Structure 1
Amino acid sequence: MFRISSIIFLFTIMVLAGCGPSQEDMARARFNFAKNLLERNDTTAALLHLDSIARLTPKAAYSINAAKNLKKEILWEQLQQKGTLLDTVKAKITRLEPNFNIEKTQFDRYAQYLHKRQTWERSWNRSYLQVLLNEKGDLSLVSNYNGEQWLDHTGLRVYDQGLSARTDSVGITEPENHRSDFLESKWEKVTYRNGRDNGVIEFIAENRNLKLKAVFLGKRYHYIVLEDYDKKAVQDALELSRAIKARIALENEIKQLQNGLNALN
């Protein structure tokens, strides 16, 4: 009697297992869930669910093909959106680039954008803040001092009306801290790369309508009032930097989308 009951139990389990959802049913449920995610604008999660259908339910041919087609539609729509954004960014770059001279010497790894209002011919004998930009969109700030006494300056502060921003310190012995002299004139040039401007570039651009002042910080202090055209140069460079970085990011994203579409064909 016990043996007969065991056989009946095993048979019941086999029948129930056979009556469970097929791979096509499971794949269809996952596909519908992916569509719901799309309706909630969760595209990343939707794509992950669509990709999982072929992996988890390899026999669900109909749903696998439907997932493939839906993924194509999603990637194609994203490609069109990214392309439109790229056109907008390129138009902005085209508008801003005429404000700069683009140069690349044998010593430069990347082409440099030098603002036309801050050329050497215009600025060699004055103290001012200069902005540097390269073709990757990397920004640097330079404090240029010209005077009769050494400052030994290692940083600067820009301020007005209770607002201020200060660079990191660049030591006298560091490669980015240069000095030279000719007759009675002294020149000091400190470059703040890789974020060492500490937000001063953004501060100048955001407060360009104020009467901004700068103090060169060293063994001696030296004060200047920022010229309007120097503030404009900083603003232009920051805008162009952001546009260049956006273009590079969009071009990479578009390439990935194109590769994804090619893989589905």
Structure 2
Amino acid sequence: MKAIRFFLLFLISIQLISCGKSEKQLAAEKLQLAEQLFQQGDTLTAIQTADSVRLLYKGAIQQVVASDQFKKKVYGEMLYSAQDELDTLNAGMADLKKNFVEEKTEFDRYTQYIHKRQEFQRRWNKSFIQIYLDERGEIYISSNYYGEQWLDHVAIRVYDGDLQAKTDTVPVGSPLNHHSDFLNTKWEKVTYMDGKDNGVVEFIAQHADRNLKAVFLGKRYYYIVLEDYDKQAFVQTLALSKALKRKAKLEKEIKDLQSKVG
């Protein structure tokens, strides 16, 4: 009981102290807290705390104005940081793009980035795994078989020792499972879009230093060893994909921050 009484007296004393403070003093304390949070790196909470000054203490005009100025300062620093990151990102992307051919045909909605080592003219008569990238940073892959017998393959598995990754199945008859033949040569192309690569892209990029193999899975099996330049194409394409997505996000953030800075 004594403990409860003490706690109640403590709450009452705190309330009396709070009641004794003016709206201006309370607003100033909130603003000071916002400054401290910002210095500690908690930018989001700092902005939310500054916002509360206008909501809770509308009568403290000077502090309300100061809180608005504080937010503009924070947004200004965020804008500078975002622009600096974007400049660095653009410089890195310029180097990466040297490895790609940019292409947009009448059938393409978005610009395509084709790795120079995987252009059709170089690889039309080879069995290999191709990676595709568009200007949004979206990636998909295809398994391309070239040989004398039909495989009717529906998936691929990439592996080295116990490490492996396998695509989802794209059944024969699907528009994404294409067959053609010319002069007794069979050509099959299976495309894995919308996540059907099932982690194969990341697997190849992460293990590009290993002796990766791939097996085309169908009525027959067909094995290939991934060329070093194909593995490097995956590494560089994934890096450019991440950069393109980050760029789009930064540009959106910058536009939003510019409107807040005024």
Per the normalisation by structure 1, the TM-score is: 0.89
Supply the distance in 1 between the matched residues of 2:57 and 2:235 (Cα, whole angstroms): 55
The within-5 A match list for 1:1-265 is: 20-262=20-262
Cα distance, 1:208 vs. partner? 1.0
Per the normalisation by structure 2, the TM-score is: 0.90
Supply the distance in 2 between the matched residues of 1:183 and 1:190 (Cα, whole angstroms): 21
Q: Which runs of 4+ in 1 moved over 2 A?
A: 19-23
Q: 3-state SS of the aligned residue for 2:65?
A: helix
Supply the distance in 2 between the matched residues of 1:173 and 1:28 (Cα, whole angstroms): 70
Cα distance, 1:123 vs. partner? 0.7
Supply the distance in 2 between the matched residues of 1:149 and 1:24 (Cα, whole angstroms): 84
Supply the distance in 1 between the matched residues of 2:167 and 2:187 (Cα, whole angstroms): 19
Cα distance, 1:57 vs. partner? 1.5
Cα distance, 1:183 vs. partner? 2.4
Q: 3-state SS of the aligned residue for 1:59?
A: coil
Supply the distance in 2 between the matched residues of 1:146 and 1:166 (Cα, whole angstroms): 20
1:79-131 deviations in Å (ceiling 9; x for gaps): 11111111111011100111111111111110101111111111111100001
Supply the distance in 1 between the matched residues of 2:176 and 2:261 (Cα, whole angstroms): 46
Letter in 2 for 1:125: N
Cα distance, 1:20 vs. partner? 4.1
Quote the sequence identity (%): 49
Q: 3-state SS of the aligned residue for 2:98?
A: helix
Supply the distance in 2 between the matched residues of 1:35 and 1:98 (Cα, whole angstroms): 45
Supply the distance in 2 between the matched residues of 1:176 and 1:251 (Cα, whole angstroms): 34
- Structure 1 unaligned residues grouped into runs of 5+: 1-15
Q: 3-state SS of the aligned residue for 2:219?
A: coil
Calculate the aligned-residue CA RMSD, in Å: 1.5
Q: Relative to structure 2, which stretch is displaced further, 167-176 or 73-82? A: 167-176
The number of residue pairs the alignment matches comes to: 246
Letter in 2 for 1:193: M
